[in-house]
Amino acid sequence: MSTPEIVRLLRAIADVIERSDSTEVRAVAEALEKKPSSGRRQSSKAQKNLDLRSDLDLVTSKLMQISDRGEGRGFLASLRLSRADLTLIGRKNNVHILKEDNLSAIEDKIIESLIGARLNSKAIRGENS
């Protein structure tokens, strides 16, 4: 928009305000004040994801305590984590995740890194779990 167009628009708005009743102007002003300035409200899913991100250490420690790959997969499946959440868990634990990886591939990498590596190490050392 050019400057003359903006000036015309503002004059038109001013004319409408001058012709309006003061109660109408107040109502519009109050309606504008009630609108949140941030745009959209956070959905419950977004809030859940924020809570989960703050509990990544808890999820990781639970995975570290699990001694079976299948049980670990079941635990991750029960959480119903998004790709972003799984990626955060993976990054926190130095798991290499590619853009092309889907949810199951990311879950497998996390399970193998946190549970499988420990089980393989115990098997090599000859320890029974």
Residue span of the structural domain in which 11 resides: 3-34
64 plus 119 within the same structural domain:
yes
Q: How many contiguous H segments (helices) and E segments (strands) does the chain have?
A: 8, 0
pLDDT, tens only, 20-43: 777 776 776 666 666 555 555 556
70 plus 30 within the same structural domain:
no
* CA dist., res. 20 & res. 31, Å (int): 16
In a domain, 39, yes or no: no
In a domain, 12, yes or no: yes
pLDDT, tens only, 4-13: 888 887 787 7
58 plus 108 within the same structural domain:
yes
71 plus 116 within the same structural domain:
yes
pLDDT, tens only, 48-95: 655 655 677 788 889 999 999 999 999 998 888 889 889 989 998 999
Identify which has the larger pLDDT, 15 or 38: 15
49 plus 93 within the same structural domain:
yes
60 plus 103 within the same structural domain:
yes
Torsion of CA 66, 70, 118, 61, to 10 degrees: -30
55 plus 83 within the same structural domain:
yes
How much is the pLDDT for 32?
Answer: 61
Contact present, 111 and 72 (Cβ < 8 Å)? yes
51 plus 22 within the same structural domain:
no
Q: What angle do CA 16, 19, 20 make, to 5 degrees?
A: 85
Q: Following DSSP, what letter does each residue of 44-96 receive, concatenated?
A: HHHHHHHHHHHTHHHHHHHHHH---HHHHHHHHHHHT--HHHHHHHHHHTT--
How many domains in the chain? 2
60 plus 117 within the same structural domain:
yes
104-122 burial, b for 16+ CB within 10 Å, e for fewer? eebbbbbbebbbeeeeeee
